[in-house]
Amino acid sequence: MDLLGWLIFLVALLFSVMLHETGHFVMAKRFGMKAPRFMVGFGPTLWSTTRGGTEYGIKAIPLGGFTKITGMTALEDVDPEDEPHTFRQAPGWQRLIVLVAGSFMHFVLAAVLIFGVALGIGIESDNTTQLGAVATCVAPSVTALTNGAPCTAKDAKAPAAAAGLKVGDQVTSFNGVKVSSWDQLSGAILDVKPGSEVTIGVDRGGRPLTLHTKLSAVPGRPGAYLGIGQATVIQSASPLAAINYVGSGFAQEITGSGGIVAHLRTEIPLLFSSHRSHNAGANVTSVVGAADDTGQALAANVGWEYKASFILLLIASVNIAVGVANQLPLLPLDGGHEWAVIWERTRARIARRRGRPDPGLVDYRKLAPVSLSLFALLAVLILIITYADIVNPVNIG
């Protein structure tokens, strides 16, 4: 399953990279720029064909791909006859569209995956009274309850087990009052004093049952204790709800990434702690970690819906993260080139208003030292996260 997980994730990653390059390529061709090569993979060329002035091919190492657009910077030597069709001679707005198109394709893929999961598989819903867990004993303390300590011979039988409740039961009423949500059921349990007799109405596979038990209490925990846990239910969403799910997915990924960056200095040591799996910030992962998560999801003892939705949403999450990261104003990322174009056109506008000649293209040699130094720091961070994923992988549970 680990090997299959790696294979699935790497194929998805390769597809994402090629979609990114397709975005650049299509828009460059649309604006009349010369794009002599569009390649899948790196290294020696295994096969290629030339059509419309572009060589399409497959290379030996399937770890990405690239699009060659002529004249990306002022430093590139170009044949005089090709100069009118270079990237650098195109209007600023066209160059920005070509550059943004790569990240845009990541966002489109992510949106399609999230929308498809919500509409085709469903969204995890907590609007249910179905039981996903039934405790066998009453924990001796809140700490034991929280940590899931195993039962001992001294522990009393849990009220839920004594009543005969089973995983999969749908609770329909509590003490004669109908319940339709988990919050309503939880509130009804807390309103009863420990030691009180209660009746529980359930639907078990379409058969209505009325069960009886006496509620208990866990020392240090307020309210009565029944000993039940909610099931996670996947419910198909409407098209409108699926669109809303796409928006919330993007917002969650972007804000989560921002929070990780803001607390990066404190999060890095947690990558190597024994509690990494329980720390949201330290759950930032690399390609290695994401592939491992895919393998864990395939091996999990859950239904195919949970496996498929987890893997597809993971791929969507990675695409959002890659799309956002690619917009950072660092060379050689697209964001670095975008800000170079923006600065170039801003500088030209200022010069025009002052009656001075256009300063021309940005000199990348002046931008490179600082930008590449920051990019090197980003590369080091990626290596640290990758190493953490190897020596201290996250258990997704």
21 is catalytic: yes
Closest of 347, 334, 145 to residue 227, by C-alpha: 145
> Between the CA of residue 177 and those of 9, 110, 201, 209, what are the distances in Å?
48, 43, 9, 14
DSSP string, 167-216: TT-EEEEETTEE--SHHHHHHHHHTSPTT-EEEEEEEETTEEEEEEEE-B
Element (H, E) at 290: helix 287-299
Q: What is the full DSSP assignment across 119-156?
A: III-EEE----BEEEE-SB--SSHHHHHHTPPP-TTSP
Q: How far apart are CA 395 and CA 24, in angstroms?
A: 37
Angle ∠(67,68,74) on CA atoms, nearest 5: 135
Kindly name the residue from 21, 253, 267, 344 that is annotated as catalytic: 21
Residue 221 Cα to chain centre, angstroms: 35
**Is 342 within 8 Å of 97 (Cβ atoms)?**
no
Cite the beta strand spans of the chain per DSSP E. Answer: 37-51, 54-68, 123-125, 131-134, 170-174, 177-178, 197-204, 207-214, 228-230, 233-235
The neighbour count for residue 181, using CB atoms within 10 Å, is 12
Adjacent-strand bridge partners of 198: 213
- What residues act catalytically? 21
